[in-house]
């Protein structure tokens, strides 16, 4: 935009004419008074300091301009100014996404560390309470109190799982999964659990909707989104699930999503919506718009982590007063199942005095796991790190039937211990204790003798089942 010494517009190029009127109204022959929220005098003042002025359009527009000023000191327009307006919307959006990802990654690392420590604490609380519940002479009131303790302990474990899901530190068991029957079953479940004044519908376009996914995690994802929708519709409304396919030539709905075939799952409600200022933060852990005591701020953070574990993407589109749509984009099925089905027996199998080497650096977890194993009729040797465990194994190799080891320890961790044990005895059986995913490590650890893994916090029944099953292999 070219201005004369009287601040009248002399020339406007086509690019400037295409800008939103809410940002600038520049008509040749008229005076220019303002661009965006800045007066022209404020913008011209920036020429003296050499700084650029940034102006943004009013919502719902998202255009951002950077304005540079050049004072004209010679020629027919001497005393005037040239305003150079550069559209930096895409550039700023990219910067914002990078900053948000860095913030989310930092929070995720912090959360995962805290969650790991809490899992160790919960293992002791739940474990000792479960052992006490097996005591016959306990008064009824004491049993009821212990049941409350274990119930609250498992509730704490669920919160920890939400944190680990956000930081992508849970272990996903992915299988081929057809989203059509899955979505139909979810709708039936939600119809039984959500208020009757919320009408639930499912729209499915023809096509194949098979993905590689963790059934439990995806159930949790849709449940969290449905609960959010319920809370946004206190007087009832519509909750709509829609499945369709994206073709490779379709415009990418997410800035980081590569072109290709994608399966889209939309979850829409007719609730009060999410203000634009809050939409950038909704996936951050502990951020909530609900009243104190009404939410933990972990539901959408858990959704975000699960979606990322599935190599998928999620968008939110919301306008206050009109409702919200969460859009999930999943890659179609293309890989084989990655995990074995777990034993699901209600029985608690007992040992036959086999010797188990237990390796755990946390003293409380070591104590409760030892007590659990002895209650299950196993003999237990203990070590607080991998180096100590290796020394014990050297002296008792022919007695030890199974090694149960934590993965994260000082001096020598679980993976290094497995390698050393396998070098010494290729037939060694090892069960890993972990709160973290094994990912690419898993195949290598299986080759080193790992036969199964247990996720903290431990519970008696799963410990009994896993150890018994591992000893039979």
- For 255, which DSSP code? T
pLDDT of 290: 56
Let me know: does 449 contact 420? Beta carbons within 8 Å.
no
pLDDT, tens only, 236-295: 999 999 999 988 777 888 877 888 889 999 999 999 998 887 877 777 765 565 554 455
Cα(188)–Cα(181) distance, integer angstroms: 11
Give, to the nearest 10 degrees, the angle between helix 215-232 and helix 299-309: 150
What are the distances in angstroms from CA 463 to CA 127, 251, 305, 372, 430? 10, 49, 27, 8, 13
Tell the residue number behind the tokens 């939103």, with chain if given: 20
**DSSP H helical ranges for 265-356:** 276-279, 299-309
Cα(286)–Cα(100) distance, integer angstroms: 15
User: Cα angle at 327 between 323 and 329, to 5 degrees?
Assistant: 175
User: Cα angle at 406 between 221 and 371, to 5 degrees?
Assistant: 100
First CA to last CA across the chain, in angstroms? 78
Cα(98)–Cα(104) distance, integer angstroms: 10
Let me know: does 369 contact 402? Beta carbons within 8 Å.
no
Map 335-368 to HEC letters: CCCCCCCCCCCCCCCCCCCCEEEEECCCHHHHHH
Let me know: does 302 contact 166? Beta carbons within 8 Å.
yes
Let me know: does 224 contact 285? Beta carbons within 8 Å.
no
Domain boundaries 175-330, corresponding CATH code: 3.30.565.10
Say what the pTM is.
0.47
pLDDT of 104: 61
Note the residue count of the chain.
Answer: 473
Tell the residue number behind the tokens 């000893």, with chain if given: 471
Pairing of strands 313-319, 323-330: antiparallel
Cα(347)–Cα(376) distance, integer angstroms: 12
- Look up residue 69 and give its two tokens: 């000023």
Surface-to-core class of residue 318, CB atoms within 10 Å of its CB (0-12 exposed, 13-18 middle, 19+ buried): buried
- Look up residue 386 and give its two tokens: 């991998």
Predicted confidence pLDDT, tens digits, the chain (473 residues):
999 989 899 999 988 888 877 788 888 989 998 888 889 888 888 877 778 888 887 766 778 889 989 888 888 888 898 999 988 888 887 777 666 666 666 666 666 666 667 778 888 888 888 888 888 888 889 888 898 898 888 877 776 766 665 554 455 567 889 999 999 999 998 998 899 999 999 999 999 999 998 888 898 889 889 998 999 999 999 999 999 998 877 788 887 788 888 999 999 999 999 888 787 777 776 556 555 445 555 678 878 888 888 889 999 999 888 999 999 999 998 633 333 333 333 468 999 999 999 999 989 889 999 999 999 999 999 999 999 999 999 999 999 999 999 988 888 988 899 999 989 998 899 998 876 555 556 556 776 678 888 878 888 888 998 999 899 87
Beta-bridged to residue 430, according to DSSP, are: 403, 450
Cα(405)–Cα(366) distance, integer angstroms: 10
- Look up residue 164 and give its two tokens: 């680990």
- For 260, which DSSP code? S
Surface-to-core class of residue 297, CB atoms within 10 Å of its CB (0-12 exposed, 13-18 middle, 19+ buried): middle
Surface-to-core class of residue 437, CB atoms within 10 Å of its CB (0-12 exposed, 13-18 middle, 19+ buried): middle
Tell the residue number behind the tokens 């990912």, with chain if given: 439
Best CA proximity match to 123, nearest among 373, 434, 459: 459
Domain boundaries 355-472, corresponding CATH code: 3.40.50.2300
Best CA proximity match to 286, nearest among 278, 294, 296: 296
């Amino acid at each position: 935009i070219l201005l004369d010494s009287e601040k009248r517009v002399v020339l406007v190029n086509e690019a400037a004419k295409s800008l939103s009127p809410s940002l600038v109204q520049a008509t040749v022959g008229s005076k220019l008074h303002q661009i965006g929220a800045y007066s022209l005098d404020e913008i011209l003042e920036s020429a003296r300091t050499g700084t650029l002025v940034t102006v943004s359009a009013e919502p719902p527009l998202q255009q951002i301009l950077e304005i540079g000023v050049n004072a004209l000191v010679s020629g027919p327009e001497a005393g005037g100014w040239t305003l150079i307006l550069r559209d930096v919307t895409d550039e700023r959006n990219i910067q914002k996404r990078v900053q948000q990802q860095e913030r989310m990654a930092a929070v995720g690392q912090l959360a995962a560390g805290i969650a790991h420590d809490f899992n160790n604490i919960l293992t002791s609380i739940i474990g000792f309470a479960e052992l006490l519940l097996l005591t016959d002479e306990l008064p009824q009131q004491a049993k009821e109190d212990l049941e409350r303790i274990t119930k609250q302990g498992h509730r704490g474990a669920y919160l920890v799982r939400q944190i680990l899901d956000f930081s992508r530190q849970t272990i996903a068991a992915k299988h081929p999964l057809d989203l059509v029957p899955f979505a139909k079953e979810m709708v039936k479940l939600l119809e039984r659990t959500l208020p009757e004044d919320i009408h639930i519908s499912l729209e499915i376009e023809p096509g194949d909707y098979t993905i590689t996914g963790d059934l439990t995690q995806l159930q949790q994802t849709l449940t969290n989104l449905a609960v959010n929708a319920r809370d946004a519709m206190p007087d009832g409304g519509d909750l709509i699930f829609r499945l369709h396919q994206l073709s490779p030539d379709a415009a990418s709905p997410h800035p980081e999503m590569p072109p290709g075939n994608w399966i889209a799952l939309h979850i829409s409600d007719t609730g009060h919506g999410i203000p634009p200022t809050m939409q950038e933060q909704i996936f951050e852990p502990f951020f909530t718009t609900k009243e104190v005591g009404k939410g933990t701020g972990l539901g959408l953070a858990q959704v975000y982590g699960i979606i990322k574990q599935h190599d998928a993407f999620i968008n939110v589109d919301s306008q206050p007063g009109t409702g919200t749509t969460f859009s999930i984009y999943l890659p179609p099925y293309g890989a084989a199942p990655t995990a074995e089905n777990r034993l699901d027996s209600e029985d608690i199998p007992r040992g036959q005095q086999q010797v188990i080497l237990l390796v755990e650096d946390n003293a409380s977890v070591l104590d409760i796991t030892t007590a659990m194993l002895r209650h299950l009729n196993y003999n237990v040797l203990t070590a607080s790190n991998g180096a100590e465990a290796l020394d014990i194994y050297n002296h008792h190799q022919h007695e030890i039937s199974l090694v149960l080891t934590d993965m994260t320890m000082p001096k020598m961790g679980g993976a290094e211990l497995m390698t050393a044990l396998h070098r010494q005895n290729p037939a060694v059986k090892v069960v890993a204790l972990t709160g973290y995913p094994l990912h690419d490590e898993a195949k290598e650890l299986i080759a080193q003798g790992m036969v199964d893994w247990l996720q903290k916090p431990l519970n008696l029944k799963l410990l009994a089942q896993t150890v018994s099953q591992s000893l039979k292999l």
